[in-house]
């Protein structure tokens, strides 16, 4: 970790050792950079990003060639803060997708649920067979083929009001059969 306090001391007392342009520029805007980064990433991450700004520029740049040192520092800080935010978002998405063991949803229902569903289907089939043929046909056309009352009426040569009554009757009958 870079000791910025000792760097500040050197800046105040140049006789201790000369400070390069990067460090001098960095120390001049450090507090502003920290506030800027805190707004973007939060306090804890801001300190880390601030450290990374200095290290990245120290390793990969030539401060002597900078025309606007302040702009370089803030641009680098903004880019590194964006990287941190993206990494956090990616990590959050991965954590959301990963369920803890035991919390995973089962792709197939258990044997009890399957047995209950099979019984319900048998009761429903039996109930449908108990209905008069036109009533059953109207209900199945409505539910399985998603036909409108008008289309069912035309197909069965009955009124739309009769279609409505047949469907209601069949629906009530099936509900009673499954609920029993």
28-84 per-position pLDDT tens digit: 999 999 999 999 888 888 898 889 888 888 887 777 777 888 888 999 999 999 988
Q: Between 92 and 50, where is the model more confident?
A: 50
Q: Is the distance from CB of 7 to CB of 23 less than 8 angstroms?
A: yes
Query: Angle CA(166)–CA(168)–CA(169) in degrees, nearest 5?
Result: 65
Cα–Cα distance, 42 to 9 (Å, whole number)? 28
Q: Output DSSP code: residue 35.
A: H
Which domains occur in the chain, in start order? 4-97 (1.10.1740), 111-179 (1.10.10.10)
The answer for residues whose C-beta is within 8 angstroms of residue 9's C-beta and 6 or more apart is 16
Cα–Cα distance, 71 to 107 (Å, whole number)? 54
pLDDT above 50: residue 16: no
Q: Is the distance from CB of 27 to CB of 4 less than 8 angstroms?
A: yes
Q: Output DSSP code: residue 61.
A: -
Q: Is the distance from CB of 77 to CB of 53 less than 8 angstroms?
A: yes
Report residue 124's pLDDT band, with 50, 70 and 90 as the boundaries: confident
Size (the chain), residues? 180
Q: Is the dihedral of CA 162, 174, 124, 108 positive or negative?
A: positive
The two counts, helices (H) then strands (E), for the chain are 8, 0
Q: Is the distance from CB of 119 to CB of 127 less than 8 angstroms?
A: no
Q: Which two tokens stand for residue 12?
A: 């105040």
Whole-model pTM over 0.85:
no
């Amino acid at each position: 970790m870079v000791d910025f306090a000792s760097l500040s001391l050197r800046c105040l007392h140049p006789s201790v050792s000369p400070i390069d342009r990067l460090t001098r520029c960095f120390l001049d805007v450090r507090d502003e950079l920290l506030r800027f980064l805190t707004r973007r990433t939060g306090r804890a991450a801001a300190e880390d990003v601030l450290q990374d700004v200095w290290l990245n520029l120290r390793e990969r740049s030539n401060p002597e060639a900078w025309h606007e040192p302040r702009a370089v520092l803030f641009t680098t800080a903004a880019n590194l803060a964006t990287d941190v935010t993206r990494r956090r978002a990616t990590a959050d998405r991965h954590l959301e997708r990963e369920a803890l063991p035991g919390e995973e949803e089962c792709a197939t229902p258990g044997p009890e649920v399957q047995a209950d569903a099979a019984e319900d289907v048998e009761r429903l089939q039996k109930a449908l067979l108990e209905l008069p043929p036109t009533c059953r046909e109207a209900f199945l056309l409505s539910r399985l083929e998603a036909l409108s009352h008008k289309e069912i009426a035309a197909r069965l040569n009955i009124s739309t009001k009769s279609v409505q009554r047949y469907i209601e009757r069949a629906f009530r009958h099936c509900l009673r059969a499954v609920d029993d």
